[in-house]
Amino acid sequence: MKTEKTNVESFDLDHTKVVAPYVRLAGTKTGAHGDVVTKYDIRFKQPNKAHMEMPALHSLEHLMADRIRNYSDLVVDLSPMGCQTGFYVSFLNYDDYEGILDILEKTTNEVLAATSVPACNEVQCGWAASHSLEGAQALAQEFLEKRAEWHIVFED
């Protein structure tokens, strides 16, 4: 299948060649004053084979977005992918890949220890009825079980 090049890095990634779960450098942008934003693709599920159910993904997003900031004040954003297979996380002036993996491991362990989902109410969330702590924790457990493989993005 021939595909045309786009302006979106992830659209130009061959999703048939990646092996989830993984953590992949997705790109960097340098600002006018020299600051660098580094974006990582945190893939939980194999593209086009599996996806995260929305209540679990939504709760995992809340938990990770909140807890990751316990380990770095350089986090710009953590956002879910529309395809429901993973997240993007962006850092400001921080590009230590092994450090990112450690931050993600600590964050994901905190998800497992959580007793509630932060900001899971109508005041702080746009769809507060769509959450599952248990589902988020199951996703986190599955992701952590493959921690030794997070650096493997493509099959050999």
Q: Tell me the C-alpha distance between 93 and 95, whole Å.
A: 7
Per-residue pLDDT, 33? 97
The confidence score (pLDDT) of residue 10 equals 82
pLDDT of residue 62: 98
Full pLDDT tens readout for the chain, 156 residues: 667 888 888 887 889 999 999 999 999 999 999 999 999 999 999 999 999 999 999 999 999 999 999 999 999 999 999 999 999 999 999 999 999 999 999 999 999 999 999 999 999 999 999 999 999 999 999 999 999 999 999 987
| Spatial distance between the Cα atoms of 99 and 10, rounded to a whole number of angstroms | 23
CB 87, CB 75: distance < 8 Å: no
Q: What is the value of pTM for the model shown?
A: 0.95
Q: What is the predicted pLDDT for the residue at 78?
A: 98
Distance CA 136, CA 151 (A): 22
Distance in angstroms (rounded) separating the CA atoms of residues 70 and 154 = 30
Give the HSE-up count for residue 14: Cα atoms under 13 Å, Cβ half-sphere: 7
pLDDT at 11: 84
For the 14-149 domain, the top CATH level (class) is alpha beta
State the pLDDT at residue 12: 78
Q: How far is the C-alpha of 150 from the C-alpha of 54, rounded, in Å? A: 23
Domain boundaries in the chain?
Answer: 14-149
pLDDT value, residue 1 = 66
**pLDDT tens-digit profile of 96-110?**
999 999 999 999 999
